[in-house]
């Protein structure tokens, strides 16, 4: 090997070793969050993320980056419009700015908010009506070796007008590292304990606890295709050990008048067993109830039944029907 080539090879190896050491020993400390147990509807609440940086950089190198922070909240909170993120740290305090939708996260090829949703999902929540929103500090900060700091990110946000039980998601990261799937040092994620919003009108939206029966998407109209699930593992019911579960369902208009009813135990009403004592049925309400063009469904009432239709289970394992209201907001 020629001396020049050998020197180049050594240089490459040295850089590779430096990068590896740097990745292993540098990063953010675990993320914890302070979230109140509950709030009233439309209240402006402050959530706090606590994390820190532990730069281990070979002297005289430095590490310059911007702080990233993300929140996962219900879409109905409209947090893009009303959330404000600020941070405090020994290196300075500042406000964070939402990363524009047009900016692509380089690793995933989609925008930062979608990239965070794809990577972190909805955590321990069971129903998806959430959005991840990612913010970035307006200034860059330069770290030297062993310049360990703790920092807090404060999130102020209105909690929306719906009663709910929810576990919120939080993320901190370093802007120059992007959202690499294999990285565990520069992206820290945490989900809160159960946070309750009370005092509003309408049903409680429970994102956290398994539901006996539920319809998704959470927001839809009668022209959407909806998925009804029955989870027999949630509690003991009259349908324990039933192999086949059927649906009996009524639809009502805005005035509360009955439009149509499907009460039969056929393939049309049989839920598909998807394992784990869970069953589901997908249907398009307008077709399912054979609606005329000018008819609109406002609300559904339904029970799950056995193959004879005599044993049935309703809301909270009672004689009350499960209900679902069609709405987009």
Where on the chain is the footprint of another protein (CB under 8 A)? 75, 217, 219-225, 227, 272, 280, 282, 284, 286-287, 290, 293, 326, 328
> Residue 146 or 325: which CB sits closer to another protein?
325
Cα torsion 35, 38, 40, 41: sign: positive
Helix residue ranges per DSSP H, the chain = 3-25, 79-82, 112-120, 285-288
d(CA 302, CA 315): 9
Q: Which is nearer to another protein, 159 or 226 (CB)?
A: 226
Q: How far is the CB of 298 from another protein (least distance, A)?
A: 13
Cα separations in angstroms, 58 against 17, 147, 314: 11, 12, 64
Q: Which is nearer to another protein, 287 or 316 (CB)?
A: 287
CB nearer another protein, residue 257 or residue 328:
328
Sign of CA dihedral 189, 190, 191, 192: negative
DSSP state letter for 276 = T
Nearest to another protein of 98, 218 (CB atom): 218
Q: How far is the CB of 284 from another protein (least distance, A)?
A: 4
Sort 320 into a burial class: Cβ within 10 Å, 0-12 / 13-18 / 19+.
exposed
CB of 10 to another protein, least distance (A): 21
Which residues neighbour 206 within 8 Å (Cβ) at sequence distance 6 or greater? Answer: 127, 164, 165
Q: How far is the CB of 293 from another protein (least distance, A)?
A: 7
The least CB distance from residue 249 to another protein, in Å, is 17
């Amino acid at each position: 090997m020629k001396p020049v080539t050998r020197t180049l090879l050594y240089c490459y190896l040295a850089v590779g070793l430096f990068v590896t050491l740097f990745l292993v020993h540098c990063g953010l400390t675990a993320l914890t969050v302070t979230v109140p147990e509950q709030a009233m509807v439309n209240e402006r609440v402050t959530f706090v993320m606590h994390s820190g940086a532990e730069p281990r950089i070979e002297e005289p190198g430095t590490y310059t980056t911007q702080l990233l922070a993300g929140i996962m909240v219900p879409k109905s909170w409209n947090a893009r419009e009303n959330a404000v993120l600020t941070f405090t740290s020994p290196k300075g305090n500042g406000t964070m700015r939402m990363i524009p939708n047009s900016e692509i996260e380089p690793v995933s090829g989609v925008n930062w908010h979608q990239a965070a949703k794809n990577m972190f999902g909805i955590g321990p929540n069971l129903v998806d009506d959430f959005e991840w929103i990612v913010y970035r500090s307006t200034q860059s900060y330069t770290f030297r070796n062993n310049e360990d700091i703790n920092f807090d990110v404060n999130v102020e946000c209105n909690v929306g007008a719906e009663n709910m039980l929810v576990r919120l998601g939080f993320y901190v990261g370093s802007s120059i590292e992007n959202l690499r799937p294999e990285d565990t040092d520069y992206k820290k994620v945490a989900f809160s304990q159960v946070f309750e919003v009370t005092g509003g009108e309408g049903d409680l939206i429970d994102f956290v606890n398994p539901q006996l029966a539920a319809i998704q998407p959470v927001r839809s109209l009668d022209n959407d295709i909806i998925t009804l699930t029955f989870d027999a593992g949630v509690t003991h019911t009259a349908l324990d050990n039933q192999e086949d579960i059927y649906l009996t369902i009524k639809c009502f208009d805005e005035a509360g008048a009955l439009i149509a009813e499907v009460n039969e135990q056929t393939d049309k009403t049989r839920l598909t067993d998807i394992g784990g004592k869970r069953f589901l049925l997908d249907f398009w309400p307008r077709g399912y109830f054979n609606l005329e063009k000018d008819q609109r469904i406002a609300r559904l009432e339904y029970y799950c039944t056995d193959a004879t239709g005599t044993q049935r289970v309703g809301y909270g394992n009672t004689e009350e029907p499960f209900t679902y209201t069609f709405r987009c907001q």
